[in-house]
Amino acid sequence: MKLGIYERMELLQLLPPHDTYAGMKEIFTTKLLLNPTPEEAKIINMKQEGNRLVWDPAAAEGLVVDIPFSEFMFNMIRDILRRRSDEGKISDNQLTLYEKFVMDYEQN
């Protein structure tokens, strides 16, 4: 699935910190895929400022990467987003993720 850097960072925040052994192995692998590579960090001029990561928004707009999600992780993310929506907890940063993981999936 093609995701921009903002979507990837938001997904990292949504992933659960605890799960079964098998679930955590999948989550760990997915986190590795979502985190920017050193080359990507250089392209967008990513740096740590205090407790925050900052980057050049203009450069970030063009950084879209195809992330291969396992079926397990795709379903987990879709369920998390659907549950957040049902609870009225979807933020504006999660709108495109909801569209990609939930709405687009349900239309197919």
pLDDT tens figures, 41-74: 999 999 999 998 899 999 999 899 999 999 999 9
Q: According to the model, what pLDDT value does residue 106 have?
A: 67
Backbone torsions φ then ψ of 10, nearest 5 degrees: -65, -40
Closest CA relative to residue 8, chosen from 45, 33, 26: 33
66 burial (CB, 10 Å; 0-12 / 13-18 / 19+) is exposed
**pTM score, whole prediction:** 0.89
